[in-house]
Chain A
Amino acid sequence: MNTTSNTGADTPLKGKRILVAKPGLDGHDVGAKVIALALRDAGANVIYTGLRKTPEYIARIAIDEDVDAVGLSILSGSHNELVTQTVAVLEQQGAGEIPVFVGGTIPADDRTAFLASGIRGVFTSEMPLADVISAIAKVLS
Chain B
Amino acid sequence: MKVAGADLDDESVVQPRPGLTPSGLKVPPVVRAGDVAGSADAQIGEPGQYPFTRGIFPDGYRGRLWTMRQYSGFGTAEESNERYKFLLAQGQTGLSVALDLPTQCGLDPTDPMARSEVGKVGVSLSNLAEMEVLFNGIDLANISTSFTINGSAAMIFAMYVACADKKGVPRGKLTGTIQNDILKEYVARGTWIFPVRPSMRMIADSILYSNQESPRFNPISIAGAHMRDAGCTAVEEMAYTLANGLAYVDSVVARGGDVAKFAKRLSFFFYVHMDLFEEVAKFRAGRRIWARMIKERYGVNDEKAQMFRFGVVCGGSSLTAAQPYNNVVRVAIETCAAVMGGAQSIFTCAYDEAFQIPTESSAELALRTQQIIGYESGIARTVDPLGGSYFVEQLTDQTEAGIRELIAEIDAYGGAVKAIEDGWLQSRVARRALERKQDTDNRDRLVVGQNCFRRENQSEQPGELFHLDPNTSKTVTDRYQAVLDTRNNAEAQKTLRQLSDAARREQENIMPYMVDCCHAYATIGEMVACLKEQWGEFQEPVHL
Contact = CB atoms under 8 A, between A and B. Distances in A.
Interface of A: 1-2, 4, 24-30, 33-34, 36-38, 40, 46, 48-52, 54, 76-78, 81-82, 85, 105, 107-108, 124-131
Nearest to B450: A126
Contacts of A29: 190, 230
Interface stretch (B303-311, B369-377, B536-544): B536-544
A11 B539 CA distance: 32
B460 interface: yes
B358 interface: no
Contact of A33 (B117, B121, B433, B465): B433
Contacts of A129: 437-438, 441
Given A24-B117, A128-B441, A30 B102 contact: no
B230 A30 contact: yes
Contacts of A28: 189-190
A33 B544 contact: yes
For A26, A40, A46, A127, the residue with the greatest tally of chain B CB atoms inside 10 Å of its CB is A26
A50 B542 contact: yes
B117 A52 contact: no
A34 B437 contact: yes
Contacts of A38: 434, 437
A34 B435 CA distance: 9
Contacts of B120: 76-78
Contacts of A107: 355-356, 461, 465
Contact of A54 (B113, B117, B185): B113
Contacts of A46: 544
A107 B464 CA distance: 13
Contacts of A76: 101, 117, 120-121
A1 B543 CA distance: 8
Nearest to B115: A81
B80 interface: no
Nearest to B459: A108
Interface string B91-128: 00000000001101101000011111100110000000
Given A126-B450, A127-B1, A128-B3, A37 B544 contact: yes
Contact of B101 (A25, A108, A126): A25
Contact of A27 (B185, B430, B433): B185
Interface in B450-506: 450, 460-461, 465, 468
B49 to A, nearest CB: 39
A2 B542 contact: yes
Contacts of A127: 1
Given A34-B437, A50-B542, A24 B113 contact: yes
28 contacts: A1-B542, A4-B544, A24-B116, A24-B117, A25-B105, A25-B107, A27-B101, A27-B189, A27-B190, A30-B230, A30-B430, A33-B430, A33-B544, A34-B433, A34-B437, A38-B434, A48-B542, A49-B542, A52-B113, A54-B113, A76-B117, A76-B120, A77-B120, A77-B357, A78-B120, A81-B116, A105-B354, A127-B1
Interface in B416-434: 430-431, 433-434
A50 B117 contact: no
Contacts of A128: 1, 3, 441
Contacts of B438: 129
B1 A34 contact: no
